[in-house]
Amino acid sequence: MSSVVQLERDPETGVAIIRLDRGKVNAINEAMLEELTSICNSLADDREIRAAVLTGGSRHFAAGADIERFPTFDRDDALAFSRQFNDTALGIEGLPQITISAINGYALGGGLELALATDFRVAASDAQLGNPEVLLGIIPGGGATQRLARLAGVTMAKDLVYSGRAIGAEEALANNLISAVFEPDEVQAEAVKMAEGYAAGPASLQLAKAAVLSGYHLPLDEAVKIESELFADAFNTEDCAIGVQSFLENGPGKASFTGR
Ligand code: COA
């Protein structure tokens, strides 16, 4: 079976690139979801990689689920596909590494849903983002109804999901869907630069991510208990000793971290 997702690891910088690579538009099928899940499983135990960039092609980040699969789908098939998609997206979201989607071209439907599962998204000035599922008579099944509402607010999520309209990079930026807009030929390099910055950061970045993710769905009093545990865990890292010592000797922001 030929691969439809490429993984490039660079242990020198601590950054991995996960590249969707299926046909003209990176239409997402079960095989792509399986490969993404297996890559997430391997990255979850990869101590050399501390940040990852999820990307696609130069014209299509990904145009969504493979619509050619749909004519034969009955309810059970649709349910299985949506569950598999959501498991894959949760796998991406739960990665210990800091993750950034680099979006060129179209990120539609499931393409946007994969990107919504990463920590950050940066996009080309001519990128188009949206969830056009209603235009097919269906709804998003890979988490967009939930993650869009959490990232961009309920009203924006309803607007995008009910209308199916695609928005440009500037509108996506103004609505918190993405963090930055770059020229199309700079998106990948900028995302990698951003990832390298995180990869050079302290081990506590993974604890910070775990605190944000695990507390998000809980009542505040329970969420801050988790934060306290992870705060305490940070004091067991080498980087805590390095960061504190460096501040006391040289002032803020000068520490060189090890990731341990
Ligand atoms: N699944 C399967 N095939 C798809 C696809 C998808 N999600 N999106 C595009 N394709 C196919 C097209 O059918 C076309 O196939 P062909 O060359 O055999 O005719 C090819 O990819 C190129 O698409 P085309 O529309 O000609 O390219 P474009 O660059 O002008 O437009 C899109 C790209 C992404 C804007 C447009 O194809 C589109 O709207 N796709 C559907 C997006 C969608 O509804 N996603 C949600 C799925 S649940």
Known catalytic membership, residue 170: no
Rg of the chain, C-alpha, whole Å? 19
Cβ-based neighbours of 107, under 8 Å, separated by 6 or more:
56, 61, 62, 101, 115, 123, 127, 128, 129, 130
**Mutation choice for ligand 1 from 4, 22, 25, 32, CB with most ligand atoms inside 8 A:** 25
Note the pLDDT tens digit of each residue in 68-81: 999 999 999 999 99
From 35, 113, 190, 196, active-site residue: 113
Cβ-based neighbours of 203, under 8 Å, separated by 6 or more:
234, 237, 238, 239, 257, 258, 259, 260
Q: Which atom of ligand 1 is nearest to the CA of 109?
A: 46
Amino acid at 252: P
Report pTM.
0.98
**Residue 61 Cα to ligand 1 middle (Å):** 12
> Does the structure show a pLDDT above 80 at 28?
yes
Q: How far is CA 151 from CA 22, 86, 175, 202, 216, in A?
A: 28, 17, 8, 26, 12
Q: How far is CA 137 from CA 21, 70, 80, 158, 223, in A?
A: 27, 11, 18, 16, 38
Torsion, Cα of 134, 140, 141, 144 (10° steps): -170
Given a contact cutoff of 8 angstroms between Cβ atoms, the answer to whether 108 and 129 are in contact is yes
Q: Which atom of ligand 1 is nearest to the CA of 59?
A: 29
Note the pLDDT tens digit of each residue in 198-215: 999 999 999 999 999 999
Residue 2: predicted pLDDT:
73
Residues lining ligand 1, CB < 6 A?
A: 24-25, 27, 63-68, 106, 108-109, 132-133, 136
Note the pLDDT tens digit of each residue in 98-113: 999 999 999 999 999 9
Residue 204: predicted pLDDT:
98
**Tokens at 174, concatenated:** 């103004």
Residue 1: predicted pLDDT:
54
Band (pLDDT 50/70/90 cuts) for residue 22 is very high
Q: With 0-12 CB in 10 A as exposed, 13-18 as middle and 19+ as buried, what is 138?
A: middle
Phi-psi domain of 243 (left: phi exceeds 0; alpha: psi -120 through 50; beta: other): alpha
User: How many residues does the structure list for the chain?
Assistant: 260
Phi-psi domain of 23 (left: phi exceeds 0; alpha: psi -120 through 50; beta: other): left
> Does the structure show a pLDDT above 60 at 173?
yes
